[in-house]
Amino acid sequence: RDAAVEGLGIALLATFVFYDSLTSGKLRLLDVGAEAEPATVFIAYPHARRVSAKVLALIAHLRAAFGTPPYWER
């Protein structure tokens, strides 16, 4: 990202990596006909009848933070 911002070339990056540079106008999208593989965030926790409040809070926080679709793809 930094090299692209400095004008040293183009970069194939996940959108969340350059979201701030994109919205500020430092970088712009260039359609070269290629896309990176989609990324997914997974949460792994032990199977239990009752999931702890902390785990539920983390899941809720991540859903709110990333959203569907993630904020950087809206």
Domain ranges of the chain: 1-39, 40-74
Q: What's the rounded Cα separation, in Å, for the pair 64 and 44?
A: 18
Whether this model's pTM surpasses 0.85: no
State the pLDDT at residue 24. 94
What is the block-wise mean pLDDT of the chain (74 residues), using blocks of 10 residues?
90 84 90 76 82 90 80 70
Buried (b) or exposed (e) across 18-56, using 16+ Cβ within 10 A? bbebbeeeebeeeeeeeeeeeeeeeeeeeeeeeeeeeee
State the pLDDT at residue 8. 93
34: which residues sit within 8 A by CB, 6+ positions away? 12
